[in-house]
Amino acid sequence: MNEIDFDEIDINENAPYEEPQRQYYYIKKCRDYIQKKKQELSRPMYFTIKTFGCQMNARDSEKIHGILENIGYVEASENDTPDLILFNTCTVRENANLKVYGNLGNLKKEKAKNPDMIIGLCGCMMQEPDVVEKIKKSYSFVNLIFGTHNLYKFGELLNEVYSSNKMVVDVLKDTKLIVEKLPTERKYAFKSGVNIMFGCDNFCTYCIVPYVRGRERSRKPEHIIREIKDLVNDGVVEIMLLGQNVNSYGKGLENSISFAKLLQMVEEIEGLKRIRFMTSHPKDLSDELIDVMSKSKKICRHIHLPVQSGSNSLLKRMNRHYTKESYLELVDKIRKAMPDISITTDIIVGFPGETEEDFEDTMDVVKKVRYDSAYTFIYSKRTGTPAAKFPDQVPEDVVKDRFNRLLKQVQEDSAYRNAQKLGNTVDVLVEEQNTQNPEFVTGKMDNNSTVHFKGNKELIGQIVKVHLDEAKGFYYYGTIVTNDAEIHGDEVRI
Ligand code: 5AD
Ligand code: SF4
């Protein structure tokens, strides 16, 4: 999948029009340029990618990484000065934007010392015209800006940067195009995200995503299956199907198909051991999906089901299309079908007009569901979204107080849920060596909980049985069950 036959490409001819061949052509052009640079400098050319935000961005960064490695760059380690720095940005909350400006401010001096350094910006924040204007004005040392819809063009744009002394800016408002078969370089050898759809059509009134990621479009199932089979052949055992609203997967495809059907197709892929997905919108979660999940051997017992608020009037003004009651019914239905499932959520505190009563409704849902874990956010006003113009923005001190009360509750619930599984022996996919203690490794249970246990790094990428000894809030300490464990190639059999 990552192999491009560069010998086949003649860069003295004109660039082809079709994708991805056009990009392969430009990658080869960049490759020749970087080859010369390396000879000139007698050293490798280094790059760094800094990724902000969600799993989608993490996956996009893997695609950029793949293109850069094909061009001939090497990822910089701590002591290398990068020749190219790319920020893959997020704009879901104001904080994310501030971090990028902070990083750019720091880079100004660096760039003055090292004028050949290429600085690029991409991702959601670049889809906002005001941001691009600000960067052109205040950070004119940036070399390249592109958006979420033309990431596939990175090679072509970089080629332009090499021959230009002006800032290259290419941001599209939206696209229907999905370019397949670009090179990617995974962060983990044994697990991978897989995009199944792009964009979002829900227009929740607080959210900027539909404006920066464009209209919802699904990849064809055959392309998704091909990609996963290739990943499995390359050593992947766990995949995470990615979309802003995976439950509406398949709408608009020539042969329309449901998300549950796609899951059934993915389940059949031999060698694949775990299937995850993210994110589910409660309004579109079907009985068919619950049924498929409960019968599946590979779909992980975890569902991320953002509630955002427990107040019906707020949910209406958020444009969420469900009520507190229907959400709670859905949770009941899911738990009845799969009693051991983990349910996690996103909650926003301080949405415009939120009263104490509204907040109490949110607390009530939280207390009733007792989430395994919850991401709690303070409402952030995003220019261009309907909620930015709503009256009655909630005073900061009130929001902070509510936020702290909510946080205390979700932490208690998380500890309660974790304690329930104590003493069980569970399957854990070992992900990395523990950063604090090299004698330990860290892995994930199928319900997404984190477990630390004594073990060596040869276990990374394997699914092993671990006894849960101690629950620490939202993670565990455990012991690998090794009694008569035999190591068989890539897995431990008990
Ligand atoms: N303010 C605060 N949180 C937000 N989210 C999305 N937009 C905003 C905003 N304007 C949160 C939602 C969403 C998660 C990814 O980010 O909870 O589910
Ligand atoms: Fe934003 Fe709502 Fe779409 Fe999620 S579903 S990305 S919160 S608009």
Average pLDDT, the chain: 94
- Over residues 347-357, the pLDDT tens digits come to 999 999 999 99
Distances (CA, A) of 325 to 51, 309, 330: 38, 12, 9
Residue 181 has a pLDDT of: 85
Q: How many angstroms is it from 21 CA to the middle of ligand 2?
A: 33
Please give the DSSP secondary-structure letter assigned to residue 283: G
d(CA 428, CA 417): 18
**Ligand number nearest to the C-alpha of 384:** 1
**Ligand number nearest to the C-alpha of 211:** 2
Mutate to test the pocket of ligand 2, among 203, 209, 212, 318 (most ligand atoms within 8 A of CB): 209
Determine whether 247 is exposed, middle or buried from the number of CB atoms within 10 Å of its CB (0-12, 13-18, 19+).
buried
Q: How many angstroms is it from 247 CA to the middle of ligand 2?
A: 12
**Ligand number nearest to the C-alpha of 403:** 1
Task: Indicate if the pLDDT at residue 235 is higher than 70.
Answer: yes
Residue 355 has a pLDDT of: 97
- Over residues 330-376, the pLDDT tens digits come to 999 999 999 999 999 999 999 999 999 999 999 999 999 999 999 99
Residue 175 has a pLDDT of: 85
Measured by CA distance, the residue closest to atom 5 of ligand 2 is 202
* 3-state percent breakdown (helix, strand, coil) of the chain, nearest 5: 40, 20, 40
Look up the pTM and report it.
0.91
